[in-house]
């Protein structure tokens, strides 16, 4: 028998339960504390025969309940009970939002808001086994680029920092490189100073930073988070002046090596469909978000129409037919950003 107990505030005493149950970098009290400091969080303890089986954190925003558990697997039966409970306890709530679920659902009166892929590597026990699994050309290129880097520079250091050992200046440098890289590619950067500070704060709890230093200067690095046996890559960056060495690829391999040495089970690239993720043996795992409505309504029909249109436009935007347009937009942005700089 399923029973639900609701409490207010962050369930700090259940942080270890959240980590062991969900292994998700965005489903922790520390994450909500840092990234949603002004949110009025509630949480639902879900029991089956007096055994705690799920803990769902949520916030009521107007007529919508947003479930804050993201990057998780939760059975549809559990969500059904939770949604039923929300509609019974909060009469003003018209819909429940489910974000970034690895599980697809078939709810009545639901709308698929968006979908994408998290590319996941199943890690072997040895780095040599992982490298052998890569394609021949990928192995050859990595070996050649790394050899050239070590040949051209005498003082190359591969460094790993975890948790409280991570310095704010390191996070700042990697994000600066990421921002410069995005501008070079004609992509509008998405990380400002506030985001940098949040990343630094969260890294103090579950972060791992790997980076390459040449003559005392960081030229490439990764910011990631470790939750139980999973590692989530969040930010990757490298200095454009070292692109001829494919520093970004060498950084990725180094982070994978660290993950294997720490005996982690899976490496998550998270959302985004890029060729290097497949070359690094990432397998796509579907991520979906939904609205589940209390009843059919005008809002339901309008939102459904908007969602259908948005997904259709997204497919067209990422199709081969739209590639010339995408390239033209990137070229324009690169020229515009270069002029600003």
Asked if residue 260 lies in contact with residue 127, where contact means CB atoms within 8 angstroms, the answer is yes
Any domain includes 168 = yes
Q: Report the CATH number that the domain containing residue 250 is assigned in CATH.
A: 3.40.630.30
Smallest Cα–Cα separation from 93: which of 70, 66, 69?
66
Instruction: Identify the domain boundary among 218, 233, 264.
Output: 264
What lies within 8 Å, CB to CB, of 48 at 6+ separation is: 1, 2, 3
Instruction: Identify the domain boundary among 230, 264, 298.
Output: 264
Co-location of 259 and 292 in the same domain: no
Co-location of 81 and 169 in the same domain: no
Cα distances (angstroms) measured from residue 104 to each of 4, 71, 109, 287, 311? 23, 12, 15, 8, 16
Co-location of 49 and 181 in the same domain: no
pTM recorded for the entire structure: 0.86
Co-location of 237 and 157 in the same domain: yes
Any domain includes 181 = yes
Co-location of 130 and 247 in the same domain: yes
Co-location of 136 and 101 in the same domain: no
Co-location of 110 and 200 in the same domain: no
Co-location of 179 and 100 in the same domain: no
Q: What φ, ψ does residue 221 adopt, rounded to 5°?
A: -175, 170
Any domain includes 152 = yes
Co-location of 144 and 249 in the same domain: yes
Which two tokens mark 333? 């942005």
Asked if residue 247 lies in contact with residue 271, where contact means CB atoms within 8 angstroms, the answer is no
Any domain includes 269 = no
Q: Report the CATH number that the domain containing residue 24 is assigned in CATH.
A: 3.40.630
Any domain includes 135 = yes
Any domain includes 277 = no
From first to last of its 341 residues, the chain has per-residue pLDDT tens of 899 999 999 999 999 999 999 999 999 999 999 999 999 999 999 999 999 999 999 999 999 999 999 999 999 999 999 999 999 999 999 999 999 999 999 999 999 988 889 999 999 999 999 999 999 999 999 999 999 999 999 899 999 999 999 999 999 999 999 888 777 666 665 667 888 999 999 999 999 999 999 998 999 999 999 999 999 999 999 888 888 899 989 999 999 999 999 999 999 998 777 787 888 899 999 999 999 999 999 988 998 888 888 777 766 765 666 556 555 545 544 555 445 44
Residue 136, domain extent: 124-264
90 secondary structure, DSSP code:
-
Any domain includes 320 = yes
Q: What φ, ψ does residue 25 adopt, rounded to 5°?
A: -70, -20
| Vertex 236: Cα angle to 20 and 129 (nearest 5) | 65
Q: What φ, ψ does residue 106 adopt, rounded to 5°?
A: -125, 65
Co-location of 129 and 259 in the same domain: yes
Instruction: Identify the domain boundary among 217, 233, 264.
Output: 264
Co-location of 223 and 148 in the same domain: yes
Any domain includes 273 = no
Which two tokens mark 131? 């490298």
What lies within 8 Å, CB to CB, of 7 at 6+ separation is: 42, 43, 45
DSSP strand pairing (156-162 vs 110-122): unpaired
**Domains identified in the chain, total number:** 2
Co-location of 128 and 40 in the same domain: no
């Amino acid at each position: 028998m399923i029973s639900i107990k609701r409490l207010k505030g962050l369930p700090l005493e259940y942080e270890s339960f959240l980590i062991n149950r969900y292994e998700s970098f965005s489903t922790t009290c520390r994450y909500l504390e840092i990234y949603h400091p002004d949110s009025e969080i509630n949480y639902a303890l879900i029991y089956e025969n007096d055994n705690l089986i799920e803990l769902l954190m949520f916030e009521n925003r107007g007529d919508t309940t947003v479930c804050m558990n993201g990057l998780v697997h939760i059975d549809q039966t559990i969500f059904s009970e939770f949604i039923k409970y929300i509609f019974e306890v909060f009469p003003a709530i018209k819909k429940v939002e489910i974000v970034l679920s690895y599980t697809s659902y078939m709810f009545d009166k639901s709308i698929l808001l968006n979908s994408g892929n998290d590319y996941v590597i199943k890690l072997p026990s040895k780095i040599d086994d992982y490298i052998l699994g890569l394609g021949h050309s990928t192995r050859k290129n990595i070996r050649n680029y790394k050899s050239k880097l070590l040949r051209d520079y005498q003082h190359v250091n591969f460094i790993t920092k975890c948790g409280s050992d991570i310095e704010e200046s390191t996070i700042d440098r990697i994000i600066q490189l990421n921002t410069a890289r995005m501008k070079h590619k004609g992509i509008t950067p998405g990380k400002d100073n506030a985001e940098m500070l949040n990343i630094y704060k969260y890294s103090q709890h579950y972060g791992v930073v790997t980076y390459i230093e040449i003559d005392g200067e960081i030229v490439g690095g990764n910011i990631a988070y470790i939750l139980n046996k999973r590692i989530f890559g969040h930010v990757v960056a490298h200095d454009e002046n070292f692109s001829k060495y494919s520093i970004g690829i060498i950084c990725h391999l180094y982070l994978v090596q660290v993950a294997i040495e720490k005996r982690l089970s899976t490496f998550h690239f998270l959302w985004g469909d890029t060729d290097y993720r497949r070359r690094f043996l990432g397998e796509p795992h579907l991520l979906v978000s939904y609205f589940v409505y209390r009843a059919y309504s005008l809002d339901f029909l309008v939102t459904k129409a908007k969602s259908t249109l948005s997904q259709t436009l997204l497919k067209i935007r990422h199709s081969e037919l739209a590639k010339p347009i995408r390239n033209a937009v990137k070229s324009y942005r690169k020229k515009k950003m270069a002029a600003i700089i």
